Amino acid sequence: MKKLFLVLMIAAVFVSCKKNDTTSVQPETEKAYAEVSFNINQIIPEASREDFPFNLPECSDTDPVTADIVIMDGEGDDATEVFNGTVSLYSLPGDENLYTQAIKLDLVGCDPESTEPCCNTFYVTEFYVKNADGVIIYAAPAAGSDAQGFLDYPERMLNREIVICEFTKYQFDIDVLCYEEAYYTEFGFVWFNVNEVVLCQVCFFGDICLNEYPWYEGDWAPMTPAFDMPAIFQVWAEKWNPDFDNGDGTFGRWEVVEAYFDDAGAPIYSNLSWLGAGEPLCVPFADYLNKEDRYRVNMNVWMPTDPQTMGWVPYYFTAELVIDDCDYSELDLDGNGVVEFVIGGCQENPENVGGQYYYNPGRELNGAIVPGSN
């Protein structure tokens, strides 16, 4: 039967003596506090139990260096975190035990005029021991978890109630088991995948080349009509989700990115406030590092829908916006950092026309915008 380490934190309570010298008065501004530390002893128990659904993980050969500890002021959703941090471990000459640095906890509700000691109740809710590389090698199992079934003493488990009083030093027990990340479920832990993501700014600028001037004439028009005018538009996007199960053996679908809309459902990103002139509209796109992100870019362009009537007319880019490490050069055709497009026939270049809407004339067709929605 293989043996594994069970780290047992043995407690003792040390109460500091209060001075009786009446000439020494405690400053009224001193806040009541208490100190908590842990005395850690390594014990080798019999590791495997025939009636338990899993075996304990192997113990690490690396040395414990620090402990991550979380202490709360109560139980349930209303509890407040009073300590969440890392403390160092140390040993004394000739002593095989490990010790933690003392943790200073402020006490609340203390009356400096009272002769009764002021005490608060706390709960240790998380306790992890790490090696020099920051890897968890011991952990106290969560309450009710399978791994907690290996422990025999409730008073040395997580979520136990500890009562500490002002100007007193304590050491408490807590049992921790050898730990490997593969056993996080058995320990009752919930780990979150940490995905590194940056927001990349993609800038857009467009032109409208007019054939029907009368449609833009009148006080209602956004600007004086001209042959080549800056396009006024909104931008929103859909993103490809490769993990969506379509239920027919296939995976993946396009999903609208809700972050591009306000609570009323209107697109947030628009150049209407400056009538599209003089500068591009820059829009953030999420770029998950070490992963290719695929977007379909949609636009609503402010233009006449019939004489004397203006409105948002939908268009979309036929080419996908593929972002990899903030590189979107497939749509930035001239490398100036701006995705450009033209609506209308500013130059004769029939081979580049996608419908009547296309990128700047003279370039090969790559991501034309066309009427309608994706």
Which pLDDT score is estimated for 23?
A: 29
pLDDT at 39 over 60: no
Q: Is 33 in contact with 87 (CB distance < 8 Å)?
A: no
Does pTM surpass 0.75? no
In angstroms, rounded to a whole number, what is the distance separating the alpha carbons of residues 95 and 110?
A: 38
- Which of 51-60, 215-224, 332-341, 344-353 is predicted least confidently? 344-353
pLDDT in tens, 61-102: 898 899 898 999 888 888 889 999 998 988 777 776 777 788
| pLDDT band, very low/low/confident/very high, at 25 (cuts 50, 70, 90) | very low
H/E run at residue 35 = strand 33-43
In angstroms, rounded to a whole number, what is the distance separating the alpha carbons of residues 241 and 288?
A: 13
Q: Is 295 in contact with 317 (CB distance < 8 Å)?
A: no
159: number of Cβ within 10 Å:
15
| pLDDT band, very low/low/confident/very high, at 317 (cuts 50, 70, 90) | confident
Which pLDDT score is estimated for 306?
A: 67
- Which of 94-98, 224-228, 321-325, 337-341 is predicted least confidently? 224-228
pLDDT at 47 over 70: no
Spell out a b/e string for 54-66, using b for 16 or more CB atoms within 10 Å of the CB, else e: eebbebbeeebbb
| DSSP type of residue 362 | T
Could you give the percent of the chain with pLDDT greater than 70?
68
151: number of Cβ within 10 Å:
18
Residue 367: what residue type?
Answer: G
